[in-house]
Structure formats: structure tokens, C-alpha cells
Amino acid sequence: MQEHKDVSVGLEDIKGLLFRAMQGSVTDVGHLRSALTAESRFQDAGIDSLDLVEFFVRLQERYKIAIPQEEYADLTSLDAVQRYVTMRLEVVARAEPA
């Protein structure tokens, strides 16, 4: 029986990458740290598109996954990003020899 690899991704880790990407932007990061929930939509929270693209690049580098730019539009919240990254890691884990 194949061993199941743990590919869970922490929401706090993802949130940390988002705020790292937002360093130096004009968005009020201090307020967002407390206000942004897992379900908050990035657009509604006023997070600009460069911050998001940088966030997606940092996710790729952190988790060593590819995030095609045509999928950016669906990654609208921390929750959606967490599910997406987990799904990607599961695909990678399944492809790796046990």
C-alpha cells in the first residue's frame, strides 16, 4: 500500500507570503493583517495586482509548483489559494515515486 504524503499547507504560511509581497506597496497592510480573513476577496480588500502577482511568484518559489497566469483570476482569496496550492502539491506527490 502506497504511503500517503502530507501535503497540507498552512494558511498562516500563505498569509505570511502575501504580506511579504505587499511590503512597500501603498495598501494599508497594518489594517489588513487583522481584517483579512481566509474568505476575504483580494480585490475587495484593495490589494493591487502587482502585489498579487508577486505573491503568486513567491508561492511558486516557496512550494516549488507552477502557477500558470491564466489561473490567477481564480485565486481570489487566501482560502482559494490554500486549496489550489494543496491540490498542486498533491499532484506532485502522486507523480513522485513512493
Partner 1 sequence: MSLTELLEVPALGERYAKLKRFFFIRESTYDVTSACQLSCDGCYYFEGDKYKVKDNRSPDAWRAFMQKEKERGINYVILAGAEPALVPKVVRACHDVVPFGTVASNGLKALDRDLRYRVHLSVWGDGTGDPKYRKYANGKPGPYCLPVQLKNYRNDDRVVFSYTFNNQNIDEVDEALRCVDGEGHRITFNVFSAPDRSTSQLQIRDTMARMREKMFWAIETYPRSVLYSYYNAVVHTSKHSLHSLFVCPYPRALQAAQMKGMGVSKTFRSYRADLTFTEEANCCVPDIDCSDCRHYAAGSVIVTSRLNLHVASEAQFRGWLDYVDTYLAVWVPGYERGQNLYRFDGKEPAPVLPLPQQAAAPAHRALPLVS
Compute the C-alpha angle 7/8/12, nearest 5°.
Answer: 140
Instruction: Using CB under 8 A, pick the residue from 7, 40, 45, 58 that binds partner 1.
Output: 58
**DSSP structural state of residue 4:** P
Instruction: Using CB under 8 A, pick the residue from 50, 87, 91, 93 that binds partner 1.
Output: 50
Instruction: Using CB under 8 A, pick the residue from 56, 63, 84, 89 that binds partner 1.
Output: 56
Tell whether the torsion through CA atoms of 9, 81, 89 and 66 is positive or negative: negative
Binding site for partner 1 (CB under 8 A): 24-27, 43, 48-54, 56-58, 61, 69-70, 72-74
